[in-house]
Chain A
Amino acid sequence: MKYILMMHCPRTGYDSFGSWPKEDIQANIRFMQSLGKYLHESGEWVAAEGLASPHEARLVSAGTNGEPVTDGVFPEAKEFLAGYWIVDVESPERAYALAAKASAAPGRGGAPMNMPIEVRQVMSGPPKEYL
């Protein structure tokens, strides 16, 4: 079964990351790389991406003529998707365990950040026949 683990961060998260001490930034990057390697080696990795800063994010919708209408990011939005992992695991419990692992990524001072990770199942199950 496939799950997506979504890491959200506050709007200010991207800026504050840049102001961490070099050592903490490097520890965080190393952690993310080793998590990716771990998922590859366990045979559970499907996809993972980190997203660029929300400063350049745009909300796009189709105008009446189908042309894109873009808007800046609404200032009231507090949380942004910072990145995600898609994993193929044997059980929901395993997905939660991996999310907890990601959540404990080291932050400023090397302490675990314990960020909330949203875990959602991907619709990939085989359907059953109906009467």
Chain B
Amino acid sequence: MTPQPADTSVEHLLRELAPQVLGAVIRRFRDFAAAEDAVQEALVAAALQWPREGLPENPRAWLTQVASRRFTDYVRSESARRRRETAAAIEAPVLAPPPDLDDAAEHDDTLILIFMCCHPALTPSSAIALTLRAVGGLTTAEIANAFLVPESTMAQRISRAKQSIKASGEPFRLPTRRERAERLRVVLHVLYLIFNEGYVNSVGPQLQRCELSVEAIRLARAVHASLPDDPEVLGLLALMLLTDARRLARTGPAGELIPLTHQNRTLWDRPEVAEGVALLTEALSKGAAGAYQLQAAIAAVHDEAARAEDTDWPQILALYDLLTRMSDNPMVTLNRAIAFAMVHGPAAGLALLDDLDRDRRLAAHHRLSAVRAHLLELAGDHRAAIEHYLTAASRTTSLPERNYLITQAARLRESLPLPAS
């Protein structure tokens, strides 16, 4: 036993080990759902015991052993229950030794788990919850807290997700080469969604949510460690770091949103920017640029401007041109209109927005009104800008965003000339 470790270091270690231990237990018993429950129990036991009694010599083996014991207890009580119910003797399942315990397989366990948890049969919210628990090692209570739902609801969501995976009959292995690209796309999307949930560091109950960004970065690093040469994994990790680097500057003391142009850039996390840029450079050297890499490149251009007015907008516009060609996403077109306005003037940007009014996916979206308001303000048409800020405010489903938009409208109203009396 080593000296008593600090609670936080135990927590980090447990979360690091969680997917490895789970992989080992699944390999031994071939039951994802039950193994996942058993590992959670082992993690809870360790979180109670280790800070008091010190770390065991081999923490990973300790966890695997405790989880395996919990698993066999569970199987015994299940088969006892079945025997009682059916009055038929059912042989206890044979606990075969792990059939393929080579190092390479163990190394891939985290990756296999992420592919399983981000199974295409799951809804995004189920995949998010399961990934955070099975791969991230978060407790159900922590996940429930982050999403502000009761713990029992989150437990139910996770349990249903595991049932769906069981029903899909997916074996515990990496997707085949043929499926790989599509499955990886789903994984990266789930990680991106987790990151966005924690995007703003705010006060009150939202404080926990920023930990979701940290968690998303940790998971993206794990995927990157398993697939070091994949350019989109690199791109997503870079995008997260380059965006997260601005976190402290993004909100004011009362949790109010601070737009990019008004952020105190000395608060940006320079080492995080540097790491993001390095990863992005590596990604771009690996050939065809994907959507995450391009978004990361745009974030990097913003991060590298010492002042808002130094932003290289022509470069950002060129990147948005590439992104637009890659996907038919109206949000990309909308963001491109901002870059276009910054290069060619607000009137040119506003003209592009008129086309977006006809896009049904966007016509009633608050972002379209917010961008129009911003460009109208730049064009000097404050009355129209106020109207569109307020339309955007009435359509957003984010409270900090609503507050930001109505404050923008109020600020402009105060700058209007007083009506002639």
Enumerate chain A interface residues (CB-CB to B < 8 A): 1, 40-47, 88, 90, 121-131
Contacts and interface: CB of A to CB of B under 8 A. Distances in A.
B260 interface: yes
Contacts of B257: 127, 129-130
Given A42-B156, A45-B150, A130-B257, A124 B338 contact: no
A122 B149 CA distance: 13
Interface of B: 123-126, 147-150, 152-154, 156-157, 160, 196-200, 209, 243, 246, 250, 257, 259-261, 338, 367, 370, 374, 396-402, 404
Given A43-B157, A127-B257, 6 more contacts: A43-B153, A43-B156, A90-B125, A125-B396, A127-B396, A127-B400
11 contacts: A42-B160, A43-B153, A44-B153, A90-B124, A123-B396, A123-B399, A125-B398, A127-B199, A130-B259, A130-B370, A131-B338
B153 A88 contact: yes
A128 B402 CA distance: 11
Contacts of B153: 40, 43-46, 88
Task: Rank and list the top 7 A-B pairs by shortest CB-CB distance, nearest first.
Answer: A43-B157, A127-B401, A130-B259, A125-B397, A127-B398, A43-B156, A123-B399
Contacts, number: 82
A126 B175 CA distance: 32
B83 to A, nearest CB: 27
B196 A129 contact: no
A43 B160 contact: yes
B406 to A, nearest CB: 13
Given A90-B123, A90-B125, A124-B148, A130 B399 contact: no
Given A40-B156, A44-B153, A90-B125, A129 B148 contact: no
A15 B101 CA distance: 69
Contacts of A47: 150
A68 B402 CA distance: 30
Contact of A121 (B126, B149, B198, B397): B397
